[in-house]
């Protein structure tokens, strides 16, 4: 019987009685809508998989079920676009083809391969996780959800992705693409980065999951968000969910998903002293729990100085430095802070106590020491490096 006739019969037969018994009316209405929702859930999975067969991307990490390789791809893609992440994925696996190679490498080597990707805590956590796999899992990277959650840097989403893609385990992935697709189809305006929002979307994603082929379904919904239901200018006119998408029906596409208001950013002022002594320069490692921990940098003073104040600094006077060039401002935007950096290239006549505690390296060794993207940009411009 057509759906509209069922609705008509429902109200014709039972409305008089239900007006007197509201609690029964509520129960039957919830049951009725739940049945409709179930039918919708089934169609969502089917439509997604049909769309995926025609539009799926060819990606190297989809050609393997190796949990280690899938883990590498998932960590790289957490804050990186696929196009950029592709080269880093290949470079990383070339440098560290197995979890044992990664565990036995130095942190400096790992950060050097990671250089330019940003969010360096990801690389540090990968190094720690690899060492844990060596110690606790005998060098065999785990592929079960609960075991994966014990490793540093792996949360519910990453664990679900690895377990699903390497072992076809029935866990739904919830990344930015999934948030966007589900919030628009169901018209959900709960902030996706709030605790209630994360719980709501995790439950909804798990409810939608096609448990007979979870890996395929997870890949389908992620590709759908990346290619069809994009953040800006989604292809709504050719969308298979156009008729049932709440956002499209109500003009909410550009408003969903919703995020909580951003925290205000603070501005930090960095003055780097690119000190040279002949063909040697000086670097120090950032060891504090701050941005770029583990990376290397020239001598740094963090303060809102003026160019005139540079000449009176103790560092300049103690090293009898000749200031060769002062760079313009390099602005570097991070999650909750903005770095305004300037670089002062100097030639020193003598080392002071600060430089004696730093690593003195030749110009041919610069590439051996991982630095932030900010310093890399300065070097490319100041030394006309072809990178």
CA atoms of 373 and 265, how far apart (whole Å): 19
Residue ranges of alpha helices (H) inside the chain are 3-20, 22-55, 67-76, 82-95, 99-104, 107-114, 121-136, 145-148, 156-167, 176-186, 195-208, 214-227, 246-249, 307-310, 314-318, 353-356, 373-382
Question: One of 23, 63, 74, 307 is an active-site residue; which one?
Answer: 74
Annotate 177-207 with DSSP letters as a single string. HHHHHHHHHHT--S-TTSHHHHHHHHHHHHH
Classify strands 280-285 and 266-277 as parallel, antiparallel or unpaired.
Answer: antiparallel
Among 84, 90, 82, which residue's Cα sits nearest to residue 223?
A: 82
Residue carrying the six token digits 């740094």: 300
- Integer angstrom CA distances of residue 115 from 110, 111, 234: 9, 6, 32
Per the annotation, the verdict on 74 as an active-site residue is: yes
Residue 361 preceded by cis peptide, ω within 30: no
Residues 315, 140 contacting (CB under 8 angstroms): no
Residue 287 CA neighbour count, 13 Å, CB half: 4
Q: Which residues of 172-210 are buried (b: 16+ CB within 10 A; e: fewer)?
A: bbbbebbbbbbbbbbebeebbeeeebbebbbebbeebbb
Instruction: State the Cα torsion 22-23-24-29 to the nearest 10°.
Output: 80
Which amino acids are annotated catalytic? 74
């Amino acid at each position: 019987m057509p759906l509209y006739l069922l609705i008509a019969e429902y109200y014709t037969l039972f409305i008089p009685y239900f007006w007197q018994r509201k609690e029964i009316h509520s129960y039957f209405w919830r049951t009725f809508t739940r049945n409709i929702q179930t039918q919708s859930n089934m169609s969502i999975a089917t439509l997604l998989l049909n769309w995926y067969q025609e539009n799926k991307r060819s990606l190297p990490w989809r050609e393997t079920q190796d949990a280690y390789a899938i883990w590498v791809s998932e960590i790289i893609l957490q804050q990186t676009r696929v196009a950029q992440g592709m080269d880093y994925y290949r470079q990383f696996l070339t440098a560290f083809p197995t979890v044992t190679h990664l565990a036995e490498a130095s942190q400096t080597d790992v950060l050097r391969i990671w250089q330019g990707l940003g969010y360096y805590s990801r690389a540090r956590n990968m190094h720690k996780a690899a060492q844990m796999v060596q110690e606790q899992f005998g060098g065999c990277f785990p592929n079960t959800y609960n075991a994966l959650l014990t490793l540093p840097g792996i949360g519910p989403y990453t664990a679900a992705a690895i377990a699903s893609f390497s072992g076809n385990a029935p866990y739904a992935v919830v990344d930015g693409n999934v948030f966007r697709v589900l919030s628009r189809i169901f018209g959900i305006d709960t902030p996706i980065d709030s605790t209630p929002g994360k719980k709501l979307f995790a439950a909804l994603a798990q409810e939608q999951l096609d448990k007979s082929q979870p890996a395929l379904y997870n890949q389908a919904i992620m590709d759908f968000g990346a290619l069809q239901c994009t953040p800006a200018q989604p292809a709504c006119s050719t969308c298979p969910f156009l008729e049932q998408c709440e956002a499209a029906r109500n003009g909410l596409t550009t408003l969903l998903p919703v995020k909580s208001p951003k925290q205000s950013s603070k501005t930090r002022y960095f003055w780097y002293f690119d000190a040279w002594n002949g063909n040697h320069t000086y670097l120090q490692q950032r060891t504090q729990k701050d941005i770029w921990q583990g990376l290397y940098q020239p001598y740094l003073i963090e303060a809102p100085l003026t160019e005139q104040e540079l000449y009176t600094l103790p560092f300049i006077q103690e090293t009898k430095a000749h200031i060769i060039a002062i760079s313009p401002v390099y602005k570097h935007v991070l999650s909750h802070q903005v770095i305004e950096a300037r670089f002062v290239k100097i030639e020193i006549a003598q080392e002071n106590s600060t430089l004696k505690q730093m690593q003195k390296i030749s110009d041919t060794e610069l590439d051996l020491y991982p630095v932030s993207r900010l310093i890399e940009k300065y070097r490319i411009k100041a030394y006309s490096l072809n990178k």
